[in-house]
């Protein structure tokens, strides 16, 4: 299932809908990068509220997405990680170091706004 | 929950004992009304299931009886298993004890055995053969019901214990978006995990941005528990909350360093008061650029 | 075993299936939401390793019966290239594929029992069990 990407002003919002396959994730990575370039976006929010498992592959891909988008001068914030998922992630050893996280969409947007203000 | 394996009575090997079981089942079906009544009155006499009314006992006795006979007839325990699970679910909350459940199935076994004695008392060889076929099956049935009950009871107890533990470790919301988790007493790995789960859920439901974990009241912490604390901090961050740890004793600090954690990466403040102050700064209650504060966290 | 749930793993789509089967079984066994997620995560890592390193294999899920507890057992089996050094593979950060190297050591942290047998050239079997607390 492809991940819909919404453009909201200078930001992009990708909402992951359900259990993702690897292709979906890799497609998301490609699509986000293209859109960031196309729209000169300042920030990206990846909403993972619907994800019920975050394994090492998914984590690594999200981290890569963040790094690649940073190279284009934009910020990424991952929002909506579920309590159980976070618990499993840290047990596994996946801490998403260097990747910004926020509670939900609203907080994610607030985070990007702050980043924009502090760097302009 | 009872084990899910399709269970079966070890099949009596010879067709002869199958024959006997069939005869037995016919006898039990034929005298259903009378045997069931006798059983119900024996239950009352023995003062079992005192939490239930006479009518209730009779209704349950009827179901157990029918399931019992069916298990004998078909050789499979599945229907009985699921009935006994269902029964347990209904009667455990009313305070029925394990010995009562074991007691009533043993009573039924006796009542039925007696009726067999009465029927075959003229023919001892036949009686012995009937009992040989009946006893293993009856024991297995008694066992199934009792085990089902015990498992269900254990599940209920586990749930209750969890509920109690939850109560004993409150996550406090002191102001909007700020949670405080004061940990007091001894923490074992199980409780540490409980605390973590509770805090993570609390962060989501309260939309918390900052959490102060105060461990002033914790005397000692072994490496496993220290690891849990570190994981709690990391997991909270994944949800989008910043954690401040207060009241870290030198001993515990040392334990944390010893498990290879960079204390510099943890946001620690001397005491709870200082922790709350810092939390409020992070939340933007005072004039400190929020961004820098979060970045430093 | 009549209870075995067997999921063939041939592509990454099967990982999602195995995970969901594991979720269902774990929930039915009585595991908490957190434990169900831990179990699903472990399955995900094991199944992914099959896809990445062996190409294909299977994940078998079954109810585990202990003396006084129940649980879920996950068996991951493949006839792939095997692991040259299991000791290395079990270390945090060890990866031959540029991964995070957290799959196997991570799974060990997620479960209560962990057993691995790998013969180079023959394949890998990993059996893990999580018990109800
Ligand atoms: N089923 C398997 N067959 C062959 N080799 C395997 C198998 N599973 C794991 N390995 C080997 O063990 C190493 C460690 O596996 P592990 O899952 O811990 O890390 P990874 O897969 O490299 O990275 P990650 O899982 O963090 O994305 C792998 O790099 C691979 O060399
Ligand atoms: Mg792996």
| Minimal C-alpha gap between A82 and chain B (Å) | 7
Give pLDDT tens digits for C55-89.
999 999 999 988 878 999 999 999 999 999 999 99
CA A8 from chain center: how many Å?
Answer: 15
* Joined tokens for residue B286: 């005072």
* pLDDT on residue B69: 87
Burial class (CB in 10 A: 0-12, 13-18, 19+), B154: middle
The string of DSSP codes covering C6-38 is EEEESSHHHHHHHHHHHHHHHHHHT--HHHHHH
What percent of chain C clears pLDDT 70, i.e. is strictly above it? 98
For ligand 1, whether the C-beta of C16 sits within 6 Å is no
Counting DSSP H helices and E strands in chain A, the numbers are: 4, 5
Poorest-confidence range of A9-13, B36-40, B249-253, B290-294? Answer: B290-294
Domains of chain A (ranges plus CATH)?
Answer: 5-119 (3.30.750.24)
Give pLDDT tens digits for C87-117.
999 999 999 998 899 999 999 999 999 999 9
Poorest-confidence range of A1-5, B43-47, B190-194? Answer: A1-5
What percent of chain B clears pLDDT 70, i.e. is strictly above it? 88
* pLDDT on residue A2: 76
- pLDDT at A119 exceeding the cut of 80: no
- Are B247 and B272 contacting, i.e. CB atoms less than 8 angstroms apart? yes
Question: What's the sign of the alpha-carbon dihedral B244, B249, B252, B258?
Answer: positive
Q: What is the CATH number of domain C5-131?
A: 3.30.565.10
- pLDDT at B233 exceeding the cut of 90: yes
| Rounded-to-integer distance, Cα A85 and Cα A78, Å | 13
C28 interaction partners in chain B (CB closer than 8 Å): 1, 4
* pLDDT on residue B5: 45
- pLDDT at C122 exceeding the cut of 80: yes
Query: Does the B172-296 domain belong in CATH 3.30.750.24?
Result: yes
Greater confidence, C70 or A1? C70
Nearest CA owner, ligand 1 atom 1? C50
* pLDDT on residue B286: 57
Domain regions of chain B by residue span: 15-162, 172-296
* pLDDT on residue B164: 62
Give pLDDT tens digits for B127-153.
888 888 888 888 888 888 888 888 888
The string of DSSP codes covering B198-216 is HHHHHHHHHT-SEEEEEEE
C26 closest CA partner among C39, C8, C17, C7: C39
- Are B239 and A104 contacting, i.e. CB atoms less than 8 angstroms apart? no
Apex C7 CA angle, C3 and C12, nearest 5? 155
SS3 B13: coil
Ramachandran category for residue C63: left, alpha or beta (phi over 0 → left; psi -120 to 50 → alpha): beta
| Minimal C-alpha gap between C59 and chain A (Å) | 16
Classified by CATH at the fold level, domain B15-162 comes out as Globin-like (1.10.490)
* pLDDT on residue B216: 87
Chains that touch A (3 or more CB pairs under 8 A): B, C
A59 interaction partners in chain C (CB closer than 8 Å): 100
Give me the mean pLDDT over the A20-30 stretch. Answer: 86
* pLDDT on residue B6: 47
Please state the pTM of the whole predicted model.
0.71
- The pLDDT-based confidence of A18 (bands split at 50, 70, 90) is confident
Contacts of B100 (CB under 8 A, 6+ apart): B48, B49
């Amino acid at each position: 299932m492809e991940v819909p990407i919404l453009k909201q002003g200078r930001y992009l919002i990708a909402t992951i809908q359900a259990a993702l396959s690897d292709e979906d994730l890799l497609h998301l990575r490609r699509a986000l990068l293209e859109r960031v370039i196309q729209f000169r976006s300042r920030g990206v929010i990846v909403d993972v509220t619907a994800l019920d498992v975050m394994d090492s592959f998914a984590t690594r891909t999200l981290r890569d997405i963040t790094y690649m988008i940073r190279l284009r001068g934009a910020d990424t914030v991952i929002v909506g990680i579920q309590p159980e998922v976070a618990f499993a992630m840290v047990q596994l050893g996946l801490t998403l170091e260097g990747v910004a996280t926020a509670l939900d969409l609203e907080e994610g947007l607030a985070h990007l706004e702050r980043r924009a203000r502090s760097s302009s | 929950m009872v084990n899910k394996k399709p269970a079966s009575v070890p099949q009596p090997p010879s067709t002869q004992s199958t024959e006997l079981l069939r005869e037995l089942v016919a006898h039990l079906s034929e005298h259903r009304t009378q045997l069931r009544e006798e059983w119900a009155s024996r239950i009352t006499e023995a003062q079992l299931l005192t939490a239930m009314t006479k009518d209730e006992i009779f209704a349950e006795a009827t179901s157990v009886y029918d399931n019992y006979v069916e298990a004998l007839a078909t050789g499979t325990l599945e229907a009985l298993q699921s009935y006994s699970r269902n029964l347990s679910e209904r009667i455990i909350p009313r305070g029925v004890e394990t010995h009562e459940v074991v007691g009533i199935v043993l009573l039924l076994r006796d009542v039925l055995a007696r009726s067999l004695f009465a029927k075959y008392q003229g023919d001892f060889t036949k009686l012995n053969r009937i009992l040989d076929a009946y006893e293993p099956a009856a024991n297995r049935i008694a066992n199934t019901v009792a085990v089902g009950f015990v498992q269900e009871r254990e599940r209920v107890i586990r749930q209750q214990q969890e509920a109690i533990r939850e109560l004993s470790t409150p996550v406090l919301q002191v102001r909007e978006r700020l949670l405080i988790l004061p940990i007091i007493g001894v923490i074992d790995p199980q409780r540490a995990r409980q605390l973590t789960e509770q805090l993570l859920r609390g962060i989501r439901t309260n939309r918390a941005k900052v959490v102060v974990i105060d461990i002033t009241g914790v005397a000692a912490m072994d490496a496993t528990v220290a690891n849990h604390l570190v994981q709690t901090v990391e997991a909270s961050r994944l949800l989008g909350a910043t954690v401040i740890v207060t009241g870290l004793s030198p001993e515990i600090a040392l334990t944390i360093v010893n498990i290879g954690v960079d204390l510099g990466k943890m946001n620690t403040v001397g005491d709870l008061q200082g922790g709350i102050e810092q939390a409020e700064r992070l939340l933007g209650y005072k004039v400190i650029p929020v961004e820098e504060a979060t970045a430093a966290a | 075993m009549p209870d075995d749930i067997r999921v063939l793993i041939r592509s990454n789509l099967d990982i999602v299936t195995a995970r969901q089967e594991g979720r269902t079984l774990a929930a039915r066994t009585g595991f908490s939401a957190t434990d169900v997620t831990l179990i699903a995560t472990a399955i995900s890592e094991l199944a992914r390793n099959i896809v990445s390193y062996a190409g294909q294999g299977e994940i078998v899920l079954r109810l585990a019966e202990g003396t006084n507890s129940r649980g879920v057992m996950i068996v991951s089996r493949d006839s792939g290239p095997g692991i040259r050094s299991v000791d290395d593979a079990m270390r945090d950060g060890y990866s031959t594929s540029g991964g995070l190297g957290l799959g196997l050591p991570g799974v060990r942290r997620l479960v209560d029992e962990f057993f691995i047998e790998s013969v180079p050239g023959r394949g890998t079997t990993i059996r893990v069990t999580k018990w109800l607390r």
